[in-house]
Amino acid sequence: MPTLLQHPSLVELTAFSGGQLSPDEAATVETHIEECGTCCETLLNLSSDDTFVGLLRQTRNAEELSEPWTDEEAIPPSLANHPRYHVIGLIARGGMGDVFQAEHRSMGRTVAIKVINKKLVRDQEVVERFQREVQTAARLSHVNIVRAYDAEQIEDIHILVMEYVDGLSLSAMVKECGPLPITAACDYARQAAVGLQYAHEQGIVHRDIKPHNLMLTSGTVKILDFGLASLTSGTGGERSHEDLGDASLTAAGSVIGTPDFISPEQAQDAHRADIRSDIYSLGATLYYLLSGRAPFSTGSVAERLRSHAETAPPAVRDLRPEVPPELSDVIARMLMKDPKQRFQTPQQVATALAPFAVQAQPVAAPAPSRDGGRRGPLRGTLTWASAALGLLLATVIYVQTDKGTLKIESADDSVKINITQEPDGTGGSQLTATFIDTVTGSEAKRLPSGEYQVDLGDMKNDFEVDQDSFTLRRGKTVVVKVTRIDAQAAQAAINTQPAPSSKALEKMPLPDHAQQTLMMQGGRLSEEAAKALQIKADADPADVESRLQLLGYYWQKTIFTPAVREPHLKLVCWVIENYPESKAAAVPESEVNAGIDPKSYGIVRALWLKTIKDHPTNTTILGNAAKFFLLSERDLSEELLKKAQTIDPQNPLWAQDLGQLYQLSSNHPLSEAQGREFAEKALEQFELALKLKGASNVNYYELGYLAKAAFHAGADDKAKDYAEQLIKTGDQGEGVHHGNMILGRLALRAGDAEAAGKFLLLAGRSTGSPSLGSFGPNMSLAKELLQKGHKDVVLEYLTLCGKFWKNPKLGQWTATIQAGGVPDFGGNLSH
């Protein structure tokens, strides 16, 4: 991989400064300016402000924005000043009121806050009933129910604080994707039934079950708005159909109060609604999920309500023939007019739907089936509070304790584990693990003291405890298994000491490309995911994958976040200590910048020197260390490469690397003579590499290095030879451009401006390349020709360049040249 650093052009630096480069191009410049003080100087004097930056600056002018731009009406002032919640922004508006995303000021927990539409709570009686019902609903804690935390009145507004769910309603799913696959629809309805059963057991009825109120997040369905139906279902007594339709529609707009999913008895009298009304609504919902329409979806509100009471809807099978008759029957039974003829409990519905819900395939991309079991990377929420952590468990984690290492495994991510560590008063600490099955709400605690103390509470789960393991069951399913790893294995597991140097080197278990992929993936990790991965890595010293990902993650942040420098340093040391021969030890991720973080650099430097001392004849290690020292200590890097070359003289790699090192030096020489000297050394090494490799194996960019080094070293004949070979490689983009450029400059050096002009035009006939497309053509020969008065050929060259480089600079240069000037070609002179 060529690490050759060339100055970016002025155009490119300007674009970089203004954030106008593609990520790849920007990364190249970022790497470059880390080393190049000259370009930093240039950047300092550049003005990259365009209209967009001007626009951004205007936002600093508070006056201009004070009036219309803050929508004070959107966030009610009493909510904006809420003592416990910081409102982040509006998520959605609904008939019942606006929903805001907010964060608990001290806990940091993200919540959704629903501000109840004032029109719904004008009546004191309604307010009281609403508060009563929501407080009841707030006791519900179930995986299939959106958790309500709190309902309160602040000044004149009523708010409901709920669990924040990042997902999509089933209503939106159907609108987006059309009717759902049968297994998915049945699984979602089954999950909703499980949630309703739980609520039913607590004596709570929802009264407004509909697709809009079922949220899907990562394959889990969560019922929204428990307790809110009290706001729209009237204050009691008989209400006519027209009244109800009218009241709910005016009060709440078209979003809620839809009569499409309401049971006949509830339409007649809200007070008659019991759990069987929810079953009817769930039946209508499932009907909709499968057919894309509600059972009665035409006619006025009154007509539809009448149909609910009097007419049997068309069978689902008539609308969707592949629905099995048994399923069609289940839905018909849920939709019976007489509550007594329906299923009597949601549990019965869940059981009846289960056979159709197996192997549900996810409809939304990140929605794996609950029944399929989830493995793979650690996922779930991770919260840190002092020395406590809690996470949903869907994989294997290791926990270190004073009594050995615990291995905790579960394929069910509805199990939450909380681990807290507290001082025990004797200088040690006591670790407590609590397991919560969020499906049943049951909880188990365990102290790793050698004896298991399990608080069974009133849970229905079964436990099995033996000497070294502990199992939590839900029905027949094992949801958590904890085993204690034997003392020796545990000791090995927590042994994070570096391997003794006398030990034979271990081979990195992953191939090079896998190492690089992992580090790249790591760069994209979220903070939470990285924390989870760090815990996993800390518990398992054999976990190379996690460590490489973390290396990528921390490295990405080292420039801006000093806090990550320490964990990054540890991982760099881990790589060098354990796998000094690996690819991972030779990539930028394992570099530490001497300028940004000199202390860490010193540590890694010492480690590399020690590693070299321990393995003095290992050329791979010498080469990897040379890469580390290339930017900050080039002399040392050179020494190491030369040593490798002495040990392994037939390998062209060392010559190639040395050549690049010298070329890098020749780019920033202290004097012309020094530049020439480095160019000569570079040429010598590149030629040696060419000889060792065999001329037939050489590729175009190596020829490019050779031609350029020869040109700068003043070896004109060689430069001509390599440039001609470069053109002959058949690379129509780079080869043609750079080869002819060298030939043209050689011609001009020899005093033949006419020939130089011809080569310039040949260079312009390049078909372009990704590199030429972004950095643009080389303008050095054009400039030399202009200075000698050859205007026309340069203008023609610019026209040719326009075919592979779209840039307004070309037009500006053309205009300047036509007016008799010589443009400042900036960085286009050098590459």
Partner 1 sequence: MENTSLTLLGRLQRGSDSEAWGRVFGLYRPLLMAWLRKYDVQAADADDLSQEVLLAVSTGLKSFDHNGRPGAFRTWLRNILVNRLRNFWRTRDRRPLSTGDSDIERRLAQLEDSASATSQLWDRQHDLFVVQQLLHLSRARFSAETWTAFTRVALDGESPAAVAREMGLSLNAVFIAKSRVLSQLRQEASGLVEGAGDSSAIS
- Binding site residues, partner 1, CB under 8 A: 11-12, 15-23, 25-26, 29-30, 33-34, 40, 43-44, 50-60, 64-65, 67-71, 73-74, 89-93, 168-169, 171-173, 175-176, 524, 557, 559-561, 595-596, 773-774, 807-808
In this structure, the strands spanning 97-104 and 110-116 are antiparallel
Distance CA 551, CA 533 (A): 11
Comparing CB distances to partner 1, the nearer of 51 and 124 is 51
Comparing CB distances to partner 1, the nearer of 277 and 556 is 556
Shortest CB 66 distance to partner 1, Å: 11
Comparing CB distances to partner 1, the nearer of 565 and 745 is 565
Comparing CB distances to partner 1, the nearer of 56 and 107 is 56
Joined together, the tokens standing for residue 185 give 């629809």
Distance CA 437, CA 480 (A): 9
Q: What angle do CA 63, 68, 70 make, to 5 degrees?
A: 90
Shortest CB 58 distance to partner 1, Å: 6
Residue 104: which residues within 8 A CB-CB, separation 6 or more?
A: 84, 85, 86, 110, 111
Shortest CB 53 distance to partner 1, Å: 6
Comparing CB distances to partner 1, the nearer of 31 and 434 is 31
Tally: H helices and E strands in the chain: 34, 18
Integer-rounded Cα Rg, in Å, for the chain is 36
Q: What is the dihedral of CA 503, 509, 514, 515, to 10 degrees?
A: -20
Comparing CB distances to partner 1, the nearer of 11 and 480 is 11
Task: Return the number of other C-beta atoms located less than 10 Å from residue 394's C-beta.
Answer: 21
**Coil, helix or strand for 474?**
strand
Nearest to 294 by CA among 311, 272, 274: 311
Shortest CB 16 distance to partner 1, Å: 5
Shortest CB 561 distance to partner 1, Å: 5
Complete DSSP assignment for 317-355? HHH-TTS-HHHHHHHHHHT-SSGGGS-SSHHHHHHHHHH
Residue 426: which residues within 8 A CB-CB, separation 6 or more?
A: none
Letter string b/e over residues 762-790, b meaning 16 or more CB atoms within 10 A of that residue's CB: bbbebebbebbebbbbbbbbbbbbbeeeb
Shortest CB 59 distance to partner 1, Å: 5
Shortest CB 756 distance to partner 1, Å: 28
Contact present, 484 and 405 (Cβ < 8 Å): yes
Contact present, 275 and 200 (Cβ < 8 Å): yes
Joined together, the tokens standing for residue 250 give 């005016």
CA atoms within 13 A on the CB side of 745: 25
Shortest CB 750 distance to partner 1, Å: 35
Amino acid, res. 300:
S
Shortest CB 347 distance to partner 1, Å: 31
Q: Could you tell me if residue 66 is left (phi over 0), alpha (psi between -120 and 50 degrees) or otherwise beta?
A: alpha
Shortest CB 39 distance to partner 1, Å: 9
Q: How far are the Cα atoms of 25, 305, 342, 597, 709 from residue 664, in angstroms, in the given order?
A: 19, 81, 81, 23, 11
Shortest CB 177 distance to partner 1, Å: 8
Shortest CB 223 distance to partner 1, Å: 17
Comparing CB distances to partner 1, the nearer of 166 and 512 is 166
Is 458 in the active site? no
Distance CA 90, CA 69 (A): 15
Comparing CB distances to partner 1, the nearer of 560 and 635 is 560
Comparing CB distances to partner 1, the nearer of 33 and 113 is 33
CA 407 to chain centre: 28
User: Which helix (H) or strand (E) element contains residue 716?
Assistant: helix 716-728
**Coil, helix or strand for 705?**
helix
Comparing CB distances to partner 1, the nearer of 266 and 828 is 828
Comparing CB distances to partner 1, the nearer of 61 and 106 is 61
Comparing CB distances to partner 1, the nearer of 56 and 456 is 56
Nearest to 337 by CA among 363, 316, 307, 314: 307
Cβ neighbourhood burial of 707 (10 Å; 0-12, 13-18, 19+): buried
Joined together, the tokens standing for residue 559 give 């420039």
Complete DSSP assignment for 430-471? EEEEEEEETTTTEEEEE--SSS-----TT---EEEE-SSEEE
Residue 287: which residues within 8 A CB-CB, separation 6 or more?
A: 293, 294, 295, 313, 316, 331, 335
Q: Out of 98, 187, 208, 731, pick the active-site residue.
A: 208
Q: Could you give the residue numbers annotated as active site?
A: 208
